[in-house]
Chains A and B, each alone.
Chain A
Amino acid sequence: DIQMTQSPSSLSASVGDRVTITCRANQGISNYLAWYQQKPGKVPKLLIYAASTLQSGVPSRFSGSGSGTDFTLTISSLQPEDVATYYCQKYNNAPTFGPGTKVDIK
């Protein structure tokens, strides 16, 4: 089975900072990767699919990159409303979520 890891598990950054979250698969998954944002007490929201395609309505400060085994989610300028846990997911053949990265404001 393909396992997904994320780093860091949590981070604290200032408003306006550039934030990068890494997701790694232990086998190649091409670009079958999505990123979700889950705010406290809320339902997950799709941010990015196909590793780098921004879902409609998602602010352009979010971006994704990578292919194969290594992927990143970048928030170019962190905003207070971005406080959330972010999950990566490989979504082909037995979808698997990463363990999540909790993002807070410093």
Chain B
Amino acid sequence: EVQLVESGGGLVQPGRSLRLSCAASGFTFDDFALHWVRQAPGKGLEWVSGINWNGGSTGYADSVKGRFTISRDNAKNSLYLQMNSLRTEDTALYYCAKAGPSFWSGYTDWGQGTLVTVSS
């Protein structure tokens, strides 16, 4: 059974940093691309960032480009999102999602999410 468990969320002041982690199990981790998707309270889904199987290719939404960095450690079956210069509009539930067989695929499995609140 695929499991994706996010951690690292919390309350942070604007301008500060936070690092999210996603621990994966139940599948061959380095066979799949992974993505971060967020959902602001009461709002829709927003793709944040994605990374291919070996970290050699990444993508970012315009809203986070230059501030967020996605990475993965295949030896630890873990995905990360380093979030710098946080803004109040970054407040959301952040999901880790496993892609299908290619980098650009639907997201077959999702974690439960970790809540990031940016507020002074």
Contacts and interface: CB of A to CB of B under 8 A. Distances in A.
B109 to A, nearest CB: 8
Contacts of B100: 49
Interface residues of B, number: 21
Given A95-B47, A96-B47, A97-B44, A44 B104 contact: no
29 contacts: A1-B62, A34-B106, A34-B107, A38-B45, A43-B95, A43-B110, A43-B111, A43-B113, A44-B37, A44-B45, A44-B107, A45-B110, A46-B106, A49-B100, A49-B105, A50-B106, A55-B106, A55-B108, A85-B44, A91-B104, A91-B105, A93-B59, A95-B35, A95-B47, A97-B44, A97-B45, A97-B46, A98-B44, A100-B45
Interface of B: 35, 37, 44-47, 50, 59, 61-62, 95, 100, 104-108, 110-113
